[in-house]
Structure 1
Amino acid sequence: MEVKDQTAYCGIYCKDCIHLNNEYSELAKGLQKHLKEIEFDKYAAIDSEFGKEFKPWDKFSIVLSKLSDTQCEKPCRSGGGCSGKPCKIMECCQDKNFAGCWECSDIEQCDKFDFLEPRCGDMPKMNIREIRKYGIDNWVDKRANFYIWQK
């Protein structure tokens, strides 16, 4: 698969994302199924000193459900967006017939990246600058760290 196919419209390199072909979604689905079969929710609801740590079951169940639902089987371009869901960046590029945001002159002022910032910081825009500088086929080894906690 070519670099362009692995590069989302926003400049994110899909292969760096923890959701692409992850193992945890399938594991979470298996755990969900098993816990439902043994009716663990009923066990967790019992008010007892033994197992009191299971009281926040509802919150755990929500997180487990989200973990099972965040796997991307394909990169953004071929998969219809991140986790198969298009975002406003993808829709904007497609509306303007852009291969990616690197073809847009308003990238620095664009607020469509706001939802990415808590986890990715300025990485997508930094990648877009590298794509502009080196081209879509030659930028990938100059990309920024995917997540803000990576050094």
Structure 2
Amino acid sequence: MKSKNDTAYCGIYCPDCIHYKNKYSVYAKSLKDHLEAIAFDKYAKNKSPFGAQFKNFEEFESVLTALAETKCNHTCRTGNGCSGVPCKIMECCISKNYEGCWDCSEVDECDKFYFLEPRCGEMPKNNIKKIKKDGIDKGMEKRDNFYVWQK
């Protein structure tokens, strides 16, 4: 049952996440390592008519580091939470011995989904409703788009 292992307790289908087994982390790490090897930060700080566009390099470097460190190689279920960090939803399901939030009768009123809403909107709860109705495999076939901007 692949859908169960790929579906988080909250109803998110992990392989749809941009961080799951992404390529950008590998490229970002390679670029970060190369820029460090050639001391590009010193070049960017140097006041010169050449390279004025690099004045925000420190900010870029911070974003590049975040990109390099964001890769997620395991699903929520197989990796002990999203990117290896259990959330309140996962902890709640495990403490109640639930397979997922679809085993709960209080999902609509649950306030543990707030941290997902900025990027995922109602997708997790919509997916849970589909799983409740059709089972995990069929529910995940009908799942919502992962991110709110994918409508």
TM-score range, shorter chain: over 0.9
Matching residue of 2:24: 24
SS at 1:78's partner residue? Answer: coil
Deviation, 1:50, is 2.0
Aligned equivalent of 2:117: 117
Residue number in structure 1 paired with 2:38: 38
Equivalents in 1 of 2:49, 2:91: separation in Å? Answer: 52
- Provide the residue aligned with 2:67 in structure 1: 67
- What do residues 37-92 of structure 1 show as CA deviations (whole Å, max 9, x unaligned)? 01111111112332122111221111111111111111110011112221121112
Question: How many percent identity over aligned positions?
Answer: 60
Report the TM-score when normalising by structure 1: 0.94
- Amino acid paired to 1:55: K
**2:81 equivalent to 1:50:** no
Instruction: Count residues with an aligned counterpart.
Output: 151
Please state how far the C-alpha of 1:97 moved relative to its aligned partner: 1.5
Corresponding residue for residue 129 of structure 1: 129
Tell me the distance in 2 between the aligned counterparts of 1:84 and 1:68. 16
Q: Partner letter of residue 20 of structure 1? A: Y
* Structure 1 outlier segments of 4+, above 4 Å: none
Structure 1 residues 93 and 42: CA distance shift in structure 2, 3 A: same
RMSD: 1.2
Identify unmatched segments of 5+ residues in structure 2. none
Q: Please, what TM-score do these two structures have when normalized by structure 2? A: 0.94
